[in-house]
A and B are shown apart, each in its own frame.
Chain A
Amino acid sequence: MSREVPLTTAEHDFIVEALKRNVRLDGRGIDELRPLNISFGDEYGHVKVQLGHTSLIVLMSAEVVKPHSDRPFDGIFTVSLELTNMGSPAWENGRQSDLEQNVTRTLDRVIRHSNALDTETLCIMKGQSCWGIRADVHVTNYDGNLIDCACIGIMTGLQHFRCPDAVVKDGKVSVYSIDERVPIPLNLTHRPLTITFHTFHDGELILMDASRKEELAAEGDMVIALNDAGQVCAVYKTVGRPVGAVDVMRKTSIALQKVQEIKNTIQKALDDDQSKRTRRNVGVEANSANDR
């Protein structure tokens, strides 16, 4: 079964009724995110994101590949998101669902097509070799709002990842492993993040960061993507009643606040991890100095 079990009438009616009084099942406000927790694994670009009960792992990797023949100066950046049975029993292994397509397409547009990662800096040798950067998203627990959670994960991964150093010598590319040379952070042009809203009561009520049950009860959705400079990168609305222009403006300004909040959370997580690594490296270097 590639779709979630539909809500019972009781659940649907109750959620909608409670929202009339601005009450949500988990006691959150209408424009409030669930608790966000970001942590890192041992390697660069291994990010774990938890947004309420929705959790996922992002793994970044780099490989030397041949650039596309029509863009010899550009590197390649791909986002791979495959929903497995791990995230939800509703998802079938090896079968693409609508949700997967929808999320992949939105992430592609927001992150890839907005050139968040400057692919020109990934070029090693014109038309011959470049870096292929890959972001793998593994959804471990699904409880709604996959787009925002995955977007946070990938953007954090891009900032956390370090690409090995590659040098061209006499027309030959040699790559230095992470132990040999200090790896290089990726070059980002801007940092877009999405905030997803869901609409209820004929577009009267617009809700931030819906849980799985709220998503099922909602009439429609709206995704607003903003970068840290406050520029709107994209606004998507796929289904549901029309939302007035004033509401979109109002929600965009709220989304901007949230994007800043998320950005700060990401920055803090990155800083913490950096200081942890520095401490460890100092230890390692002291040891290796002794060896010499």
Chain B
Amino acid sequence: MPRPTATLSPLLRADGSASYTCPSTGCLIMGSVNGPIELPGRRDAQKPEEATLDVLVKPGTAQAGVGEKYVEGILKGLLGRLLLGRETGFPRRGIVMTLVVSGGENGGKVRRGESYLPILPALLHTLLLALLSAAIPMSMTYTATAVAVTSTGEIKGDPSVRDAASAVSFHVLAFSSKGHLLLSQSEGSFDLDLWEQVYEHAYATCRGSQPVTADGDISMIEDASGYNLESFVRKTVEDQIHHDYSWMNNDA
């Protein structure tokens, strides 16, 4: 399984930032987070009791359009449940998140009318890492993955853009670090049984073990590699913290 790579805090000016490479779609995403800051031009941004979330998805080689607005809505909805926008210093301010998609097929451009779902997990992971880097308070972390179902009924994890285009149905699922299902976006035709299989596959990819009802054999296979997306997020953060606090380790 090809593994994603990520860098935390590559940018100096932004409060928090992350760059992320998604191996299956080849896209490269740079994300930045600034917050809490004032959003002066936005009257609607002054919510008295919590922070306003502002997400911008910028395609690499085109003007942002309806597709970007749609995916921004998905991201905002998911984060609204995880960010603690009522902590001191956050009410009436904004948390501004910017994602730039570059690289990948078509130069990171999602063509007009095409779906954003294939790169949605990559966007979610970039955003999570940038938020952690900016020390925005969150109740928990999350991981996300895409699953394609081919015409032969095969369930395929980490689909490429081409897999996504030829898939009968396509799903993106996100799980919190406590195992809740946070997001389920699906396209195409499928039935509930198939979705259950997709759910199990996605759960294993994100969290490394099967949900409670799972079949023992599959869970063994996943454990053998010991790798899942959650451990990837944790490893990335740990590496950066060790690097940032290297002065402390030498002292001790």
Contact = CB atoms under 8 A, between A and B. Distances in A.
Interface stretch (B102-110, B182-190, B236-244): B102-110
Given A93-B54, A134-B61, A46 B98 contact: no
Interface string A76-102: 000010101111110011110000000
Given A41-B102, A93-B54, A61 B109 contact: yes
B127 interface: no
A59 B60 contact: yes
Contacts of A87: 13
A142 to B, nearest CB: 6
A93 B100 contact: no
Interface string B80-113: 0000000000000000101010110001110000
B41 A59 contact: no
Interface residues of B, number: 31
A136 interface: yes
B15 A89 contact: yes
Contact of A43 (B17, B54, B107): B107
B11 to A, nearest CB: 5
B40 A1 contact: yes
Contacts of A80: 63
B100 A86 contact: yes
B12 A86 contact: no
B37 interface: yes
Contacts of A46: 102-103, 107
Contacts of B141: none
B14 interface: yes
B143 interface: no
Contacts of B107: 43, 45-46, 59, 61
A197 to B, nearest CB: 23
Nearest to A93: B56
Identify which of B13, B39, B63, B108 gathers the most chain A CB atoms within 10 Å of its CB: B13
Contacts of B32: 85-86, 140
Nearest to B55: A93
A78 to B, nearest CB: 10
A146 interface: no
Given A46-B103, A59-B60, A94-B56, A89 B13 contact: yes
Identify which of A80, A93, A138 gathers the most chain B CB atoms within 10 Å of its CB: A93
Main secondary structure of the interface of A (DSSP, over half): loop
A89 B34 CA distance: 6
Interface in A44-61: 45-46, 53, 55, 57, 59-61
A118 interface: no
B144 to A, nearest CB: 22
B13 A88 contact: yes
Contact of A138 (B14, B60, B62, B63): B60
A86 B11 contact: yes
Nearest to B59: A136
B98 A61 contact: no
B241 to A, nearest CB: 22
Identify which of A55, A59, A94 gathers the most chain B CB atoms within 10 Å of its CB: A59
Interface in A242-278: none
A138 B98 CA distance: 11
Contacts of A1: 38, 40
A120 interface: no
Interface in B13-58: 13-15, 17, 26, 28, 30, 32, 34, 37-41, 54, 56, 58
Contacts of B102: 41, 46, 57, 59, 138
Interface of B: 11-15, 17, 26, 28, 30, 32, 34, 37-41, 54, 56, 58, 60-63, 96, 98, 100, 102-103, 107-109
Given A86-B98, A138-B60, 11 more contacts: A45-B107, A61-B60, A61-B61, A86-B32, A89-B13, A92-B41, A93-B54, A94-B56, A136-B60, A138-B100, A140-B32
27 contacts: A41-B103, A42-B26, A43-B103, A43-B107, A46-B102, A60-B61, A61-B62, A80-B63, A84-B58, A84-B100, A85-B32, A85-B98, A86-B30, A86-B100, A87-B13, A89-B13, A89-B15, A89-B34, A92-B40, A93-B96, A93-B98, A94-B56, A95-B41, A136-B61, A140-B100, A141-B14, A143-B13
